[in-house]
Amino acid sequence: MMKKFMEIPYGQVAQETLDRMQNGGLFLTTCAKPGEPNTMTIGWGGIGCFFSKPVFYVPVRTSRHTFGLLKQSGEFTVSIPLHDMSEELLFAGTASGRDVAKFTGHGLTVAPALDLSTPVVAECERHFECRVFASTDVTEGAVPEDMLTRWYPDRDMHILFFGEILRCYTLHITGKE
């Protein structure tokens, strides 16, 4: 297997990353135990600067399997497909990692991250590696009533995780060296 890696300044791909998040989603991967990664689809989040750090922030509902893994590991990767992976994104966004190993037989495989123990989605071309440095609750009182009604009818609220962007890069993996 041959890997071709290229570091990218995160600011150069921030807008495209946000556009892809809003129009199909990205993969958020966590791994609390070696060899047991979980991924989910994210369509909300952002890239910015917080506490003078480059940040990828992601909301995760407390009911999600990813929530507990993220609290344990304190790190995550975001993998961005630059080609159509709509079926895989739909699967990752609807199946729970509590019930199914998402990287077994579903068109998704892992590749080691460069600096974290949490892997990246090998089929994706672009990746962010992030270490959580803060989190905050999204509370009912902070959300307007019309948004509560639309997005939180059962009040399954989010926790907003702030991950310092450690790396942003492209990774192309081919079958033979």
Q: Which DSSP category does 175 fall into?
A: S
Q: Which residue has the higher pLDDT, 87 or 158?
A: 87
What confidence tens digit (pLDDT) does each residue in 60-108 have?
A: 999 999 999 999 999 999 999 999 999 999 999 988 888 888 888 888 9
pLDDT at 177: 44
Please name each of the domains of the chain with its CATH number.
2-174 (2.30.110.10)
How far apart, in whole angstroms, are the C-alpha atoms of residue 163 and residue 58?
8
Average pLDDT for residues 18-35, to the nearest whole number? 90
Best-predicted range by mean pLDDT (70-79, 132-141, 165-174): 70-79
- DSSP per residue over 57-79, as a string? EEEEETTSHHHHHHHHH-EEEEE
Q: What does pLDDT average to over the chain?
A: 90
Is the model's pLDDT at 146 over the cut of 60?
yes
Helix or strand or coil: residue 153? coil
Average pLDDT of the residues in 50-59: 95
Q: What is the pLDDT of residue 176?
A: 46
- Residue 94 CB contacts under 8 Å (≥ 6 apart), including other chains: none
